[in-house]
Amino acid sequence: MKPITPRACPMRKLLLSRKMRYGSNALVLTFAAVAIVFMVNFVVSRHPAKIDLTQNKMYTLSDATRKVLRGMDRNVKITAFFPEGDPLGQMVRDLLKEYTRISSKISVEFVDPDKNPSLAKQYEITAYGTSVVEAGTRSRKVMQYDLTEYKGESQVPGFAGEQAFTRAIIGVLQEEEKEVYFLTGHDERDLIQDYWQARSFLEGEGYTTKTVNLATEGKVPSGAALLVIAGPRKDLAPKEIAVIETYLNQGGRVMVLAEPSGRKDDLPNLKAMLGKWGVGLNDDVVIAPASHYFLDAASPIPEARYHDITDKLMSQKLGTVLPRSRSLYKIDVPEAPGVTVSSLLETTDKSWGETDLAAKQVSFDPKADNKGPLMLACAVERTLQAEPGTAGNTGEPSEERASSTESATQAADSEDSGLRTRMLVVGNASFLDNDVVTFQGNIDFFMNSVAWLVGKAESITIRAKSPSFQQVYLTGGQARFVFYSTVVALPLMFVVVGGAIWLRRRNL
């Protein structure tokens, strides 16, 4: 039998063939590509990273939230009750996934209340979209209406979930809750109906909101960190004024929102009290033709003046909208040394204070009206020397009075030997109404003011984020260029390149 020579061996011929060389190269490249994909997935799983390419950073947590999450010293559990397939629930799920990515102390559980009604009953859930934030024995609820925010005339709601959950986390982790009392009995703004959004913001940042009627209580509650007088239509009685003055003289903190009532010489007792602290109220309505909200000249957008309260507003270029405001002015009070009145919000010099409160059409009268620029909000501060053994406003023992004073002045600077009284006066109460509070920087101004009054280091206000939609308008020439380059040229290029590769391989 004739032996087979190596040259005639079919196996060797196959192994040395051009097809085998190309095929083996393709196989090696395929395995290499698969290995690279596995390696990249492994590295990403161990060191996750992401890039948010959306215009308004829809999927990126703010620096304020990151600071809160990284500073957590206790575990927080979030139980979200959303029905299956709820689009808002999916947005909350994506948001809370970022929370857990930054802090291992956050745990999240989503529950369908229809499939698990017993758990929903245990948490006292009465509405879809409710989330419960827990830390130890303390808990806060984030309602569905807390997750969305409408701005102005926009029909597309912004997603305010980050602010709602971050504030709730702060609330359950905060050791001490500061009590904010709203005065009642003088036809003020109702905390439940008129100011429920402002109340929600306060409670979300760890404040406790309550109401007090001084005519029945006879004193400012000892635990009050702040007393708010929000838009009284009736004047306070002299005895009520005396109670508030005693509270102020013990280092209390007061916010007065005094909008125009439509009557001249209104609120004489309240005006007299403010006058002792260097602030006067004009009987006018501010008209701002040069800087107002949309077409309403009676809704001024004032300019901020530098202060701890307005610092963030100015840096973030946030304005405030104050519909129907009265102007304020400073009063020199020689008998009250140490009083400092700082202007916070002022109109331009093109504005004026209309004193004809019954006029339907207004125009500036240099003889009667108040010429701009006008002050719309101010901060008052005064350091008081404590008098040992002085009785409080209710005749309470000195130890109990000391406890009351300590609660009211816990924010006083350590370098002061006396008590520090702080007051905020705004010639407007409408800026906190439910349909106005989210305009511009209104809620930021309010929360910053409360934080300054009670001595809280900082408050969390995170702007709601809305999906951005941008339309592209093309000219006829631009449209033809896009059509021919994408529909004609690009496919034709693949045909030409593919044909060239086929011809080359055929000739090999």
**The model's pTM:** 0.64
Q: What is the pLDDT of residues 10-36, one digit of tens each?
A: 666 666 666 666 667 777 788 888 888
Of 273 and 50, the structure prediction assigns the larger pLDDT to 273
- Stated length of the chain: 508
The 138-142 sheet, strands edge to edge: 106-111, 76-81, 130-135, 138-142
CA–CA separation, 14 vs 20, rounded Å?
7
Q: Rounded distance, CA 462 to CA 312, Å?
A: 12
Mean pLDDT (whole number) for 193-218: 88
Compare 150 and 257 and report the one with higher pLDDT.
257
User: What is the spatial distance between Cα 253 and Cα 247, in angstroms, rounded to a whole number?
Assistant: 8
Contacts of 116 (CB under 8 A, 6+ apart): none
Among 54-58, 419-423, 459-463, 466-470, name the most confident range.
419-423
Which pLDDT belongs to residue 396? 39
Most confident of 278-282, 359-363, 365-369, 380-384: 278-282
Asked, as a colleague might, if the bond just before 397 is cis with ω within 30 of 0, I would say no
Residue closest to 245 by CA, chosen among 406, 60, 54, 382: 382
Place of tokens 């959950």: 165
Tell me: pLDDT of 434 over 60.
yes
Percent of the chain with pLDDT over 70: 80
* Tokens at 332, concatenated: 């020199």
Q: Measured at the alpha carbon of residue 407, what is the angle toward residues 403 and 410, in degrees to the nearest 5?
A: 125
Q: Average pLDDT, stretch 455-462?
A: 62
Q: For the segment 223-242, what is each residue's pLDDT rounded down to a tens digit?
A: 899 999 999 999 999 999 99
In which band, very low, low, confident or very high, does the pLDDT at 399 lie, cut at 50, 70 and 90? Answer: very low
Instruction: Give the tens place of pLDDT for each residue, 124-171.
Output: 887 899 899 999 888 888 888 778 775 544 556 678 888 889 888 888
Cα-based distances in Å from 60 to 65, 149, 160, 269: 10, 18, 13, 51
Determine the pLDDT at residue 398: 36
Lowest mean pLDDT among 105-119, 401-415, 438-452: 401-415
